[in-house]
Amino acid sequence: MLRYGLIGLAVLLIAPVVVAALYRIEAVRPISTLMLRDTVLLRHWERDWVEFDAIAPVLVQSVMMSEDGQFCAHNGVDWGALNAVIIDALDGSPTRGASTITMQTAKNLFLWSSRSFLRKGLEVPLAVWIDLVLPKKRIMEIYLNIAEWGDGIYGIEAASWTYFGRPASELTARQAALLAVTLPNPYKRDPLSPGPRLSRLANVILGRAASSGAYVRCLY
């Protein structure tokens, strides 16, 4: 029993490493663990895969500047931000998020959504591996096609049609900013009915996206 248990654990640890490398193949369209959960529970969900070049650049810029401004500069993990969070946690201070887009991609593809030190411990090496085996453009494409934008709404194309009735290629700068700031909590943030705080945040991202040229150099 112990031997079989160890073999099963080894498979669970090795499988994401192998599968992540296979995602380099453009024809492969990954799904997230949340999509698998919804499928198992017979819940309806939507996702229309869209290639990176068919997504409005302003949406990509907005998501980057909202979620991970150093996406092009790090190796999957923003070590400075992560170290700051660890120090805050050890001091008992409130912690802020330090997940990069690559770390969120690793979590969405292979891990669970609830927060824990175990999940974060698995997320970090997976993010480094994903950054090593996949081009930045492919990582961003996968992330934007598996990110959750509401109950049963996955990927930017489904989100764009659901909230604004248009494809992701035709999003305006304002719509892109609203969708970007919805990502951290899509169940409580509504891009169609943003409150004053969400509107202010979207305005900030709108400005950052407009001047993000140097930050998105690995994508365009």
pLDDT tens digits along 164-196: 999 999 999 999 999 999 999 999 999 999 999
How many whole angstroms separate alpha carbon 34 and alpha carbon 111?
A: 9
pTM of the model: 0.91
- pLDDT score of 13 more than 80: no
Helices (H), 23-100: 33-40, 57-67, 79-91
What local confidence, expressed as pLDDT, does residue 87 receive?
A: 64
Angle at 214 between CA 159 and CA 135, to 5 degrees: 60
**SS3 track for 99-140:** CCHHHHHHHHHHCCCCCCHHHHHHHHHHHHHHHHHCCHHHHH
What local confidence, expressed as pLDDT, does residue 155 receive?
A: 98
Q: For the stretch 83-92, what's the b/e string if a residue is b when 16 or more beta carbons lie within 10 angstroms of its beta carbon? A: eebeeeeeee
What local confidence, expressed as pLDDT, does residue 83 receive?
A: 73
Mean pLDDT of 27-44: 96
Decide which of 167 and 97 is more confident.
Answer: 167
> 94: pLDDT confidence band, cut at 50, 70 and 90?
very low
Percentages helix, strand, coil for the chain (3-state, rounded to 5) are: 60, 0, 35
- pLDDT score of 92 more than 70: no
- Lowest-pLDDT range of 35-44, 77-86, 145-154, 201-210: 77-86
- Lowest-pLDDT range of 11-25, 51-65, 172-186: 11-25
- pLDDT score of 5 more than 70: no
Q: Which residue has the tokens 């049609």?
A: 161
Q: Which secondary structure element, helix H or strand E, spans residue 17, and what is its range?
A: helix 2-22
What local confidence, expressed as pLDDT, does residue 9 receive?
A: 59
What local confidence, expressed as pLDDT, does residue 29 receive?
A: 97
